[in-house]
Chain A
Amino acid sequence: MADRAPIGSGWRERAPAVLIVFLLAATPLVARALGDPFIVKVATRVVVFAIAAVALNFVVGFGGLVSLCHAGLFGVGGYVVGVLAWHDFNAEPLLFLPGTSNLLVSIPAAAVVVGLLAAIVGAISLRTSGPYFLMITLAFNQMFYYGAVALQKYGGEDGLQIMSNVTLGPFDMSDRYRFFYLALAFLAAAMFVLGRVVRSRFGMALRAASRNETRVIAVGVDPWRYRLVAFVISGVVVGIAGALLAAGQQFISPVDMGWDRSGDLVVMTVLGGIGSVWGPALGAAAFVVLELVLSSWTSHWQLAFGLLVILIVVGLRGGLADLGALAFGRRGTETAHG
Chain B
Amino acid sequence: MADPILAVECLMKSFGGLRATNDLSIAVERGECHAIIGPNGAGKTTFISQLQGMLRPDAGAIRLDGQDITREPAHVRARLGIARSFQITSLVPDFSVLDHAALAVQARSGHSFRFWRPARGDAALTGPARDALATVGLSPRATTLARDLSHGEARQLELAIAIAQKPKLLLLDEPMAGMGRKDGAAMTRLLAELKKDYSIILVEHDMQAVFSLADRISVLVAGHVIKTGAPDEIRNDPDVRAAYLGH
Contact = CB atoms under 8 A, between A and B. Distances in A.
B78 A217 contact: yes
Given A215-B91, A215-B161, 14 more contacts: A201-B117, A204-B119, A207-B92, A211-B93, A212-B91, A214-B86, A216-B103, A217-B75, A219-B78, A219-B103, A336-B94, A337-B96, A337-B143, A338-B143
26 contacts: A3-B93, A3-B94, A3-B147, A4-B94, A6-B94, A9-B120, A197-B115, A199-B120, A201-B112, A201-B117, A204-B106, A212-B92, A214-B54, A215-B90, A217-B74, A217-B75, A218-B78, A219-B103, A219-B165, A220-B165, A221-B112, A222-B73, A229-B113, A336-B95, A336-B99, A337-B142
Interface in A183-235: 196-197, 199-205, 207-208, 211-212, 214-222, 226, 229
Interface in A113-164: none
B103 A204 contact: yes
Contacts of B108: 219-220
Given A200-B114, A212-B90, A220 B79 contact: yes
A335 interface: yes
A181 B161 CA distance: 47
Contact of B112 (A202, A332, A336): A202
Interface in A218-257: 218-222, 226, 229
A65 interface: no
A201 B52 contact: no
A5 interface: yes
Interface of B: 52, 54, 73-76, 78-79, 83-84, 86, 90-96, 98-99, 102-104, 106-108, 112-122, 125, 142-145, 147, 161, 165
Contacts, number: 126
B118 A200 contact: yes
B94 to A, nearest CB: 5
A4 B103 CA distance: 19
A212 B95 CA distance: 11
> Which one of A196, A200, A204, A205 has the greatest number of beta carbons of chain B within 10 Å?
A204
Interface of A: 3-6, 9, 196-197, 199-205, 207-208, 211-212, 214-222, 226, 229, 332, 335-338
Contacts of A211: 92-95
Contacts of B120: 9, 199, 336-337
Contact of A199 (B73, B96, B119, B142): B119
B118 A199 contact: yes
A335 B145 contact: yes
B102 A204 contact: yes
A221 B79 CA distance: 8
Contacts of A5: 94
B92 A221 contact: no
A201 B83 CA distance: 20
Nearest to A205: B112
A220 B107 contact: yes
Nearest to A203: B119
A197 B104 CA distance: 19
Contact of A219 (B73, B107, B144): B107
B118 A208 contact: no
Nearest to A214: B90
A199 B2 CA distance: 46
In the A-B complex, list the 3 residue pairs whose CB atoms are closest, starting with the nearest. A220-B78, A220-B107, A336-B96
Nearest to A206: B112
Given A9-B121, A200-B115, A205-B112, A221 B107 contact: yes
B163 to A, nearest CB: 11
Given A6-B96, A202-B114, A208 B103 contact: yes
B159 to A, nearest CB: 13
Contacts of A216: 75, 103, 107
Contacts of A9: 118, 120-121
A208 B98 CA distance: 13
Given A202-B114, A208-B103, A218-B52, A335 B90 contact: no
A214 B88 CA distance: 11
A152 B90 CA distance: 54
A204 B90 CA distance: 16
B6 to A, nearest CB: 17
Contact of A335 (B84, B112, B144): B144
B115 A221 contact: no
A211 B147 CA distance: 12
A166 B98 CA distance: 50
Nearest to B101: A219
Contacts of A6: 94-96, 145
A318 to B, nearest CB: 12
> Which one of B54, B92, B96, B142 has the greatest number of beta carbons of chain A within 10 Å?
B92
B136 to A, nearest CB: 16
A153 B160 CA distance: 62
Contacts of A220: 75-76, 78-79, 104, 107-108, 165
A9 B121 CA distance: 10
